[in-house]
Chains A and B, each alone.
Chain A
Amino acid sequence: MSAEVGQFALILALLLALVQSVAPLWGAHRGDGVLMAVGRQAAILQAAFVTLAFGCLAYAFVTCDFSVALVAQHSNTAQPTPYRFAATWGNHEGSMLLWVLILALCGGVLAAFGGTLRETLQARVLGIQGLLAASFHGFLLFTSNPFLRLDPAPLEGRELNPLLQDPGLVLHPPILYAGYVGFSVAFCFAVAALIEGRVDAAWARWVRPWVLAAWIPLTLGITLGSAWAYYELGWGGWWFWDPVENASLMPWLLGTALLHSSLVLERRGALVSWTILLCILTFSLSLIGTFLVRSGILTSVHAFAVDPERGVYVLGIIALTTGISLCLYAWRAPAIRSGALFQPLSREGGITLNNLFLTALCATVFLGTFSPVFIEMVNNDKISVGPPYYAKTFVPLAIPLMVLVVLGPVLNWKRDDLRAMGKRLWVPAVLALVVLVLAVMFNGLKGVLTAAGLGLAAWLVAGSGLVLARRWWAGRAYLGRSVRTTPRAMYGLTLAHAGLGLLVLGITGVTAWDSDKVLSMRLGDTVAFAGRTLTLSAFETVKGPNYEARQARFEVRGQGKPYQLSSEKRFYASAQSQTTEAGIRVSPLGNLYVSVGEESPNGVIVRLWDHPLIIWIWIGGFTMALGGAVSLSDRRLRLGAAVRIAPAAIPTAAAE
């Protein structure tokens, strides 16, 4: 039953999306309030029906309804219930449904709470949103229908890829998708602004919280994904420049640029057409991120099943959305009034430079990810682009950007003075220099890059703290009051930029000092590694809920108390595949990472890694996301654009 209900709900949602796109666009064109209201209702109803469809699919998964083909292929009664629920989006069709669900919810929220917007702008935003939703409903229904039945129904289903049976998977895709889809709102606003031909402060104040609301989960999702790859894939790496990872990094880089440029637009009315272009491109890259990896153009460990027919459809959607919006941009953007002027040395100038660097970084990742496709097209060579490419292009561009991060917030809007700026920055500059000199002294000149990394981390953390310190210092006479009145956005800024510093610290530590060892061990063997000794104390077969595992346990002695660490190789019988569960000892100074490999007559192959400071990479990522969340909770953003002023209470009877 649930499959049929879901199917009909999805078809209704498609029809409603069509209504949502036609009615308000026409209504806004004609100035017809009724049609615009129809659009709002359609958006809310569409959200309700997609939620129903998603609920039906989740129900089929949780109750193991194997008469639904998708459930039979991707679930299994041996799976624990939370994973059965997560299996709803652990496959191509289900994850697409989740994608549309988030899109429809965004539309519903816009329709329900967008009342403070100018009515025609809201109608146009909803119309564009409806067009997007309709094309993805079409994609779902015509190429990847999740509700197809299977007759006769099998007694037992196949299983989710065991690599994906992990708490990380339960959270990771929904969070990442919330980020990707969130940028669609900024996209709709950009296209609507191009149609209207006007961009004002109210527009910017509406777009900024949406960009922030998309940026936070994307940051969180990338950080989680990196942590998941670290502990689950058993390779001991935290970032692989894999196409899927790059696909999430590209919208993040442009989204970060957009976050800053929309700030300039909101406060100063400058960078208008650039911000609109960023809105369009960020969402296009989100689309590329979600879909191209599953079209067969690129391959990676994360990829879902490859189907060229779907690839063509998706390419069509990308071509239409991006193509039409960019053509509209080329036609209308030159006519939009350009904003206020500013001196090169000013906060606007700093943010423009930040945008240039972020865009350039995004371009290097784009080239690295897609150049194999283009090179093969030109001369049929298969090449692969690996970390050496990114070390040569990405890193040299990222370092000046990190230096800039501290400068921006201490600059004044409009114009500033170089010497005054220098005076403001002496504390973090001296601190960074001290760290740099110390690191060079301990490491020698050979480690000059490492020293630079550490100095940069100190510069970032101290420089972000400076923003708060300067404000409190200025109001030190009334410290309590000035702390209380500090806007949350300022705490957010400090946290996000300091998080970047922690990230740099982690990357520097693990790149400079990590070490590894591969050896074959028998029971009772002892090995010395990175200041510790490890003894293989047990090696046996253990049973899990739907797998069997070969588990190795190690006694580790080093500084501090001895402890046990275990790593196992799991075999999932019904999916006929295996995964490695690494044993990881986490500490702020560095992780010890152990993973067992194949067994041979000479014992079991054991891989050992020492990862100094690596944990700070994820702490940094989470701190950045937290900074975004604190900033989003700022009163100024929560209130949105045009707050309707409550009609002043008119004293009817003077009670004097």
Chain B
Amino acid sequence: MRRLLFLAPVAVLVLVLVGFFFGLKRDPSLLPSMMIGKAVPAFSLPPVRPEDRGFATTDLGGEPMLINYYASWCAACRIEHPLLMQLREQGVMLHGIDWKDKPELGYKWISERGDPYVRVGSDESGRAGIDMGVSAVPETFVIDRQGRVRYRHVGAVTREVWETTLQPLMVKLRSES
């Protein structure tokens, strides 16, 4: 009986190790969002660029794309901007929404620094952002071929985030029918 007591630590260790082994397969970087797997709530936004037609939900779908919320007053957007420009050069479908910002300022911002967006809309009241659950800019969403939200990234998109998370997901979505 006393011997069994001395075996108890070994038994506990075996249990813990089994748990850890399966734990290795976990993907820890998922940030849950209410919107994951759901269709993007309908919006039709006025243009930011003059003589442009703005950005609406009808532009979504067909192929996987990114929606990036930015604003001219947002400091972290400056950080991710160079990378967004590179993504545009690589041909990534990237749309922008100028959030809680005057469209003139949003236009000035992209015309001074470079315009990485395919379509860009102005969300001056912040309504479209609120429907998507945006709490602060920058935020970036991955949208699949059916126009559903598949991933939400909060904060600046860094090279690491792009290479380890967003890009693999985009590749995967492209192969989905």
Q: Answer yes or no: A296 CB below 8 A from chain B CBs.
A: yes
B contacts with A: majority SS: helix
**Total residues of chain A contacting the partner, CB 8 A:** 43
- Answer whether A569 and B28 are a contact pair too, CB < 8 Å, given A330-B3, A330-B10, A334-B2: no
**Are B10's CB and A323's CB within 8 A?**
yes
Which residues from chain A contact B2 at a C-beta distance below 8 Å?
334
Q: Answer yes or no: B143 CB below 8 A from chain A CBs.
A: no
Q: Answer yes or no: A169 CB below 8 A from chain B CBs.
A: no
- Answer whether A600 and B24 are a contact pair too, CB < 8 Å, given A315-B17, A373-B19, A374-B19: no
Which residues from chain B contact A326 at a C-beta distance below 8 Å?
9-10, 13
Q: Answer yes or no: B118 CB below 8 A from chain A CBs.
A: no
Q: Answer yes or no: A175 CB below 8 A from chain B CBs.
A: no
Which residues from chain A contact B14 at a C-beta distance below 8 Å?
323
Tell me the bound Cα distance from A280 to B10 in angstroms: 12
Interface string of B1-40 (1 = CB under 8 A from A): 0110011011001101101111111101110100000000
Nearest B residue to A375, CB-CB: B19
Cβ contact of A377, chosen from B19, B75, B82, B136, cutoff 8 A: B19
**Are A297's CB and B24's CB within 8 A?**
yes
Those of A287-322 within 8 Å (CB) of chain B: 292, 295-299, 306, 308, 311-312, 315, 318-319, 322
Tell me the bound Cα distance from A373 to B19 in angstroms: 7
Nearest B residue to A598, CB-CB: B136
Which residues from chain B contact A575 at a C-beta distance below 8 Å?
158
Tell me the bound Cα distance from A256 to B112 in angstroms: 60
Tell me the bound Cα distance from A550 to B73 in angstroms: 13
**Are A601's CB and B73's CB within 8 A?**
yes
Tell me the bound Cα distance from A296 to B23 in angstroms: 8
Which residues from chain A contact B21 at a C-beta distance below 8 Å?
315
Q: Answer yes or no: A578 CB below 8 A from chain B CBs.
A: yes
**Are A601's CB and B100's CB within 8 A?**
yes
**Are A334's CB and B79's CB within 8 A?**
no
> Shortest beta-carbon distance, A575 to chain B, in Å?
8
**Are B6's CB and A327's CB within 8 A?**
no
Tell me the bound Cα distance from A577 to B30 in angstroms: 20
Tell me the bound Cα distance from A143 to B99 in angstroms: 45
**Are A598's CB and B10's CB within 8 A?**
no
Interface string of B73-88 (1 = CB under 8 A from A): 1111011101100000
Tell me the bound Cα distance from A42 to B83 in angstroms: 51
Those of B59-106 within 8 Å (CB) of chain A: 73-76, 78-80, 82-83, 100-101
Which residues from chain B contact A377 at a C-beta distance below 8 Å?
19, 22-23
**Are A599's CB and B74's CB within 8 A?**
yes
Q: Answer yes or no: A180 CB below 8 A from chain B CBs.
A: no
Q: Answer yes or no: B159 CB below 8 A from chain A CBs.
A: yes
Which residues from chain B contact A573 at a C-beta distance below 8 Å?
79
**Would you list 15 pairs from A and B whose C-beta atoms are within 8 A, ordered by A residue?**
A281-B9, A296-B28, A299-B28, A312-B24, A315-B17, A318-B17, A319-B13, A330-B7, A370-B16, A373-B19, A373-B22, A373-B23, A576-B159, A578-B75, A601-B101
Q: Knowing that A576-B159, A598-B136 are A-B contacts, what are 10 other residue pairs whose CB atoms are under 8 Å apart, sorted by A's residue number? A: A281-B9, A297-B20, A297-B23, A299-B28, A308-B25, A318-B20, A373-B19, A374-B19, A577-B79, A578-B79
Residues of A within 8 A of B (CB): 273, 277, 280-281, 292, 295-299, 306, 308, 311-312, 315, 318-319, 322-323, 326-327, 329-330, 333-334, 370, 373-374, 376-377, 382, 550, 569, 571, 573, 575-578, 598-601
